[in-house]
Amino acid sequence: MRDFLLYYGVFAVYYVIAINSLYFIIMLFSFNSIMGILKSSIYSRFQTLSGSEHVPPISILVPAYNEELTIIENVRSLLSLNYPRYEVLVVNDGSKDATLQVMIDEFSLVYSEHMPVQPLLHTSKIRGIYHNPAFPNLYLIDKENGGKADSLNAGINLSHYPLIASIDADSLLEKDALIRIAKVYMENPDETVAIGGDIRIANGCKIEDGVVKDIRLPDKFLPMMQSVEYLKAFLGGRIGWSAINGLIIVSGAFGVFRKDYIIKVGGYREGYPGEDMNIIIKLHKYMLENKLPYRVAFCPDAVCWTQAPDTLKILGSQRRRWGRGNLKNMIEYGRHMAFRPKYKLFGMLTLPFNILFETLNPYFRITGLLALIGYTLLDMTNGYVLLLYGLLNVLYGMLLGIGSLLLEEIAFRRYPRFQDIVKMLFYTILMFFGYRQIGVIWRFLGHIEYLRNNNSWGTMTRTSWQTKGSENISSLEARS
């Protein structure tokens, strides 16, 4: 027993060093790429593209289930984008609230019998399509409940354009977000199959007519934690992974895809928590197996603002779902693609990294800590080793968090006030004293739910954008 604890405790320490060192290397790739991104943003004339006939048209898909509190602001935001030609397809996924009716009333939509449906992907039954010529690029699709992936597939069947964008109904795009992503696509349209946008937390911001008028950090504890967490994930991580074409996920809140390749890989997987990761893995797999040149890109200056959970119950539900989705994807694809040269960098680096340092992370973290506690209880060492283990975690994490803040300050400066920087730095440190640990537990519980065949979406709150700081009016439902 003592020998086992000794070796496993040493393994736990080296595991922490390895995972954080790899995160640090990925962040270095982000820093290496950021200056090019910044120069491109400053010196390019992407604004002129908003009136160019050469910009590819895009179909924006908005899956909506019980979104009566946010859907109007979301659609207003989308209808006001600086983009020459696009359409917005809101897919009402059998909502139990008034989502369908508030859309019909707000935009005077009427039932249409002339909208052709292309049966490219299987979906639940379409109950009706609504349109108003006064809003020529807006369509409302009413269908039986089938989940988010099923809604996206229905939107693809009804879309008219070669590019599709997926947007969550509780999210708002900045006016130039779509044109910035289009610029990235137009740099290499033959090879670009997917582009992800940057996701920011909107809690605390002032929203008017679907536009973020005044950017402010959240007032509540949990949304603030998620703000610095998202900065680290998107700026410190996804920029770096994109630089080596190793992105494994494009956030379901905002991403743009080539429709033809989405159809070739069979569309979005129904009843699948983690459909945003699943579609990217399938795209990598298809392109590599068919030996086609491709890239999955990330555009950090194309910003989407989204609502973050502000209670432990709802946040825990979200993170357990993420854990289920990650585990299911790794079981179904990782065992066939990981460590196989056929899948190049994605198979030799991205998937092994995700399996070892994301999927299995809860087990190594929890058991490693227990082993080190066992050291102390059996008088194999003293408390200083536990202290060293904890400091190693905190210092590495702080370094990565501060690096993300530097990326934000160097390139984007969405939070220009000095007190905002101080607040983000404080929460970057604070998150390692409880928040990160409970996140590990949630991921572990998500794995247990997967083993129990729990594929439900879980619970989520929606808050009216009309209320200051997104604090007052909320709706709680379970998505099937």
Q: How many Å apart are CA 234 and CA 353, to the nearest integer?
A: 17
Give the model's confidence band at 47: pLDDT under 50 very low, under 70 low, under 90 confident, else very high: low
Q: How many Å apart are CA 132 and CA 139, to the nearest integer?
A: 8
Residue 121 has pLDDT above 60, yes or no: yes
Give the model's confidence band at 471: pLDDT under 50 very low, under 70 low, under 90 confident, else very high: very low
269-277 mean pLDDT: 84
Count CA within 13 A, CB hemisphere, residue 222. Answer: 15
Q: How many Å apart are CA 372 and CA 12, to the nearest integer?
A: 8
Question: Does residue 173 sit in helix, strand or coil?
Answer: strand
pLDDT of residue 33: 85
Q: What is the dihedral of CA 400, 405, 406, 410, to 10 degrees?
A: 150
Q: For 286-326, how does the pLDDT look when each residue is reduced to its tens digit (9 = 90+)?
A: 999 999 999 999 999 899 999 999 999 999 999 999 999 99
Give the model's confidence band at 466: pLDDT under 50 very low, under 70 low, under 90 confident, else very high: low
Q: Which helix (H) or strand (E) holds 301?
A: strand 295-306
Q: How many Å apart are CA 89 and CA 386, to the nearest integer?
A: 54
Q: pTM of the entire structure?
A: 0.90
pLDDT of residue 131: 94
Q: What angle do CA 373, 376, 377 make, to 5 degrees?
A: 85
Residue 433 has pLDDT above 90, yes or no: no
Give the model's confidence band at 472: pLDDT under 50 very low, under 70 low, under 90 confident, else very high: very low
pLDDT of residue 474: 42
pLDDT of residue 432: 85
Q: How many Å apart are CA 178 and CA 33, to the nearest integer?
A: 21
Mean pLDDT of the chain: 87
405-409 mean pLDDT: 87
pLDDT of residue 45: 58
Phi, psi of 171 (to 5 degrees): -120, 155
Residue 438 has pLDDT above 90, yes or no: yes
pLDDT of residue 136: 94
pLDDT of residue 140: 96
Domains of the chain: 55-313 (3.90.550.10)
61-87 mean pLDDT: 92
Q: How many Å apart are CA 212 and CA 30, to the nearest integer?
A: 27
Q: How many Å apart are CA 336 and CA 350, to the nearest integer?
A: 13
Q: How many Å apart are CA 339 and CA 346, to the nearest integer?
A: 9
Phi, psi of 38 (to 5 degrees): -65, -45
Q: For 327-341, how does the pLDDT look when each residue is reduced to its tens digit (9 = 90+)?
A: 999 999 998 999 999
381-405 mean pLDDT: 76
Q: Which helix (H) or strand (E) holds 89?
A: strand 86-93
Residue 480 has pLDDT above 60, yes or no: no
Q: Is the dihedral of CA 211, 215, 216, 218 positive or negative?
A: positive
Q: How many Å apart are CA 271 and CA 188, to the nearest integer?
A: 33
Give the model's confidence band at 85: pLDDT under 50 very low, under 70 low, under 90 confident, else very high: very high
Q: For 221-256, how does the pLDDT look when each residue is reduced to its tens digit (9 = 90+)?
A: 999 999 999 999 998 899 999 999 999 999 999 999
Question: Does residue 71 sit in helix, strand or coil?
Answer: helix
Residues composing the chain: 480
Specify burial of residue 119 (Cβ count, 10 A radius: 0-12, 13-18, 19+). exposed
pLDDT of residue 409: 82
Give the model's confidence band at 475: pLDDT under 50 very low, under 70 low, under 90 confident, else very high: very low
Percentage of the residues of the chain whose pLDDT score is greater than 90: 60
Q: How many Å apart are CA 172 and CA 64, to the nearest integer?
A: 14
Residue 368 has pLDDT above 60, yes or no: yes
Residue 75 has pLDDT above 80, yes or no: yes
Tally: H helices and E strands in the chain: 18, 14
